[in-house]
Amino acid sequence: MDRPAAIGQIRQSCNAVAQELFRIHPAVAALQDQAIQDEVFRSLFELTKQVEAIKKQLARLEARDQTRDL
């Protein structure tokens, strides 16, 4: 697998993970326990930040590759 294919695969997986994380949000209210809900939302936020950090690194790598091509 070459770099562009790896970047594409990782980005696609990150997008899928992000979509699944967002699907959790509506169900959290049904837990009916504020302390648990708060912790779940905090954890979802942290997971989302980590997924976005991966996507940011991919963007940096792509930008570096594009600069090299110039």
Give per-residue pLDDT as tens, 10-68: 999 999 999 999 999 999 999 999 999 999 999 999 999 999 999 999 999 999 887 77
24 token code pair:
């959790």
Nearest Cα neighbor of 37 from 48, 29, 49, 45 is 29
Can you give the pTM of this predicted structure?
0.82
H-assigned helices in the chain: 3-28, 34-69
Instruction: Tell me the residue length of the chain.
Output: 70
